[in-house]
Amino acid sequence: MSRIRQRSIEASPVSPSGAEDGLGLGLGQVPRILRRSLGWIVGPTLVVALGATVFVNVVSPRYTGESKILLESRDPAFARTAQERGDQLAPIDEQAVASQVQVVMSRDLAREAIRRLKLVGNPEFDPGAGSIGPVQRVLMMLGLGANPLDRPAEDRVLDAYFEHLLVYPAGKSRILTIEFRAKDAALAAEAANTIAKLYISSLEADKVDTARYASTWLGGNIDGLRKRVAEAEAKVEAFRAKNGLVGSTTGRPLNAQQLGELSSQLSAARILKADLTGKVKAIKDLIKDGRAFEIPDVANNEVIRRIVENRIAVRAQLALESRTLLPAHPRIKELKAQLEDLDAQIKASAERIVRTMDNDSKIADARVDSLQAAVDGQQDVVVRGNSSEIQLRALEREAKAQREQLESYLSRYREAAARDGEAATPADARIVSRAVTPEVPSFPKKLPIIAFATLITLMLSAGAVIARALLADAARNAANRDNAFEPAEDRQRREPILERPLFAFPEAMPPADWTKASDPPATLAEEVPASAAEAFHLAPLIARIASAPRAADAPTGRRILVLETGRANGVAGLSDALTRALGASGTLVDVALGAGHIDGKLGFTDLIAGDAAFLDVIQADRVSGLHRIEAGRHATSVLFDEPDALTLTFEAMAEAYDWVVCCLQAPPDAHGLIDLVGGFMDTVVIASNASADDPALADLYAAAQEAGAGQILVAQDRPAAGDASDAELRLNAA
């Protein structure tokens, strides 16, 4: 609070910069401004609250039917291809959901819903259902208004239909919420369900139309594709026949297959020729060595086998006879001759076999030569057929591609034909929540509307009151800034100009030869001007006032409360004399406390109530130059209502002035006011001519003591006639 006071009085009252930096309205004044203008706040608020109450009870209620649709892929497994069944279905993203919202809001679907709900002719939706009013007729005659009957019936209803329809996605989910408002609760629910069904039906119809279009298009292209496939395959066969590229059972070209077979035969002939040549050479070597019977082909011959057996028998007999007979014996010679004849037969048989094998070898050699010639010729044929084979493969690829395309078209045609049925293609959405007939209207929400209207009006009214106060204060500040640069003589003739509206004071400089109240009491008593002591001897009183104890953080100026118990007509009392004496010694403000007058000037009670600023209530006395604040127009009860403002005001005045003198006529009922302001005072002076044992004087003293005043002094109110110079100051023992 001390920081607030320092900021509020730190600028010089005549400084232009201080006027620009001053606060127009303190935060502490806002509650007072609102209390003063309570009627301007409560009145409109009550009117609006009453109007809102009447409105919510008079307006026709609106009911909202709500239906919810879940977007999901619902293609059956049998309607998808094998590849599609293996692939995972792509999720529906936010863009797709937003697109479906626009589909539900489409005009085609709206027209169908209007027909099914029979909204044409419903006064709530059809502007042409009732009679055309006179104002509208005049506007139509002047060309400023359109005739609603000129438009088609469904188009007239479209605008109202879309105003009552609301479609939005539920958060970030794939659920669409369809809301429809109407005065009829049953119509609201039926409309929401009808729109949802129409949307599902439109999706199903779109899928059926897509499948039907696909089947029609595929059916028209399959016939042409079949012809192209047949032509391509015919070209392949014709080219193969023309170029001799006859296929075999193995799938290889016949020329290549023949070349392979000839190569195999040539290899076999060469092997046979080599085998026969080797055998002939081996047999000739055996015959030359006399071992013809060891030749396998010779030994395996039946004739040779008998000859060999006979040869063995002859050799055995020859060996037997040689034991008894001599070599020249005829029997021995006969056996030897038989043996030689048998050997000659064996040799002749071997030679015949050799000749046979030699002939077979020559035949094999001739076969090898013929097969080699055939292979060479076939190779030339194969080489010539390679270029034709390349062209043939190209034709076969083209025919194969068209064949595969035809098979793909046939497969998709069958799928499209299967989806052509309505039951086979469910929509990619389903209704998860159907609308039921609402029992509670969605509009108006009585309590929220009344509370909202009342709160808004209360806030606007309070804002208007505060804005009015700010504008008035800004106008006063502007006037102060305009007068801040006037000459000093002009300002003295005017009322004091306050640079800060709340805690700033007019310029009041003490005389150059005056010592402030902070100086020793003796100095104050010695320098009181003689004019102030004409009726009173004030030096002891001023000395006691200046020596009153004070707190360490107390403001510079001293606050004095003078209680006068009575005043004679035309005779100045102690308060006037003390005010003049102190005003001559420093800056002083005289504050009149007590009951104000409704027709009087702005004063202290108006300052505390917030209806005036310091510049409005401080008046300069044209003779003495002292500053004075009148009691004010408000009753003294405002002082009890604003204790914070009272505290800030006294502290601000003590910061700006050397002396703050509050004068109070003390009637019997002034004890409450003494209790209120006595605690802010450094000194309370009770001016009374009554005796010390007077009960009224004792009550005033007790009230000032209970209020917590710094010190309490009892002084003579006014001197007796002819004894003015000897009037004594009666100070209490305290």
Check whether residue 563 and residue 711 sit in a common domain.
yes
Between residues 275 and 81, the one the model is more confident about: 275
Using the 3D structure, point to which of 375, 405, 433 is the last residue of a domain: 433
Check whether residue 269 and residue 204 sit in a common domain.
no
In the prediction, which pLDDT does 19 show? 35
In the prediction, which pLDDT does 423 show? 55
Using the 3D structure, point to which of 357, 391, 423 is the last residue of a domain: 423
CATH code for the domain of 194: 3.30.1890
Q: Write phi, then psi, for 7 (nearest 5 degrees).
A: -65, -35
In a domain, 549, yes or no: yes
Residue 261 near residue 253 (C-beta atoms within 8 A): no
Check whether residue 381 and residue 429 sit in a common domain.
no
Query: What average pLDDT does the segment 235-263 reach?
Result: 70
Check whether residue 547 and residue 648 sit in a common domain.
yes
| pLDDT tops 80 at residue 148 | no
| pLDDT tops 70 at residue 28 | no
Percent with pLDDT over 90 in the chain? 16
In a domain, 230, yes or no: no
Check whether residue 539 and residue 668 sit in a common domain.
yes
In the prediction, which pLDDT does 434 show? 94
Q: Which residues pair with 661 in a beta bridge?
A: 560, 590
Q: Which letter does DSSP use for residue 680 in this model?
A: G
**3-class DSSP state of 88:** coil
In a domain, 731, yes or no: no
In the prediction, which pLDDT does 52 show? 92
Least confident of 119-123, 301-305, 457-461, 493-497: 493-497
State the pairing for strand pair 627-629/588-593: parallel
Confidence of residue 723 (pLDDT cuts 50, 70, 90): very low
In the prediction, which pLDDT does 143 show? 66
Q: Which letter does DSSP use for residue 443 in this model?
A: B
In a domain, 272, yes or no: yes
Q: Which of 617, 498, 607 is nearest to 18 (CA)?
A: 498
In the prediction, which pLDDT does 285 show? 74
Between residues 373 and 496, the one the model is more confident about: 373
Query: What average pLDDT does the segment 300-307 reach?
Result: 72
Token pair of 37, please? 């203008």
In the prediction, which pLDDT does 9 show? 32
In the prediction, which pLDDT does 77 show? 53
Using the 3D structure, point to which of 423, 453, 480 is the last residue of a domain: 423
First to last CA, the chain: 33
Residue 611: CB atoms within 10 A of its CB come to 20
Before 444, cis peptide (omega within 30)? yes
In a domain, 41, yes or no: no
Residue 688 near residue 710 (C-beta atoms within 8 A): no
Q: How many domains does the chain have?
A: 3
In the prediction, which pLDDT does 128 show? 67
In the prediction, which pLDDT does 183 show? 92
Confidence of residue 252 (pLDDT cuts 50, 70, 90): low
Residue 605 near residue 629 (C-beta atoms within 8 A): no
Q: Which of 265, 273, 274 is nearest to 375 (CA)?
A: 265
Check whether residue 202 and residue 279 sit in a common domain.
no
Confidence of residue 436 (pLDDT cuts 50, 70, 90): very high
In the prediction, which pLDDT does 91 show? 65
In a domain, 13, yes or no: no
In the prediction, which pLDDT does 316 show? 84
CATH code for the domain of 560: 3.40.50.300
Check whether residue 262 and residue 205 sit in a common domain.
no
| pLDDT tops 70 at residue 468 | yes
Check whether residue 144 and residue 278 sit in a common domain.
no
In the prediction, which pLDDT does 342 show? 78
Q: Is the pTM of this model over 0.75?
A: no
Q: C-alpha distances in angstroms, 521 versus 539, 659, 709, 717? A: 9, 15, 20, 22
| pLDDT tops 90 at residue 573 | no
Check whether residue 145 and residue 271 sit in a common domain.
no
In the prediction, which pLDDT does 218 show? 82
Instruction: Share the mean pLDDT of the chain.
Output: 75
In the prediction, which pLDDT does 21 show? 41
Helices of type H across 59-86: 82-86
Percent with pLDDT over 70 in the chain? 71
In a domain, 227, yes or no: no
Query: What average pLDDT does the segment 353-380 reach?
Result: 78
Across 103-117, 208-222, 601-615, the highest mean pLDDT is recorded for: 103-117
Residue 575 near residue 628 (C-beta atoms within 8 A): no
Least confident of 318-322, 506-510, 577-581: 506-510
Check whether residue 389 and residue 429 sit in a common domain.
no
Q: Which residues pair with 352 in a beta bridge?
A: none
In a domain, 48, yes or no: no
Least confident of 129-138, 308-317, 419-428, 550-559: 129-138
Query: What average pLDDT does the segment 27-37 reach?
Result: 77
Q: Which of 391, 484, 365 is nearest to 19 (CA)?
A: 484
Q: Tell me which residue range forms the domain holding 386.
A: 254-423
Radius of gyration in angstroms for the set of CA atoms belonging to the chain, rounded to a whole number:
68
Query: What average pLDDT does the segment 546-552 reach?
Result: 78
Interatomic CA distance for residues 580 and 124, integer angstroms = 84
Check whether residue 190 and residue 283 sit in a common domain.
no
| pLDDT tops 70 at residue 654 | yes
Check whether residue 533 and residue 581 sit in a common domain.
yes
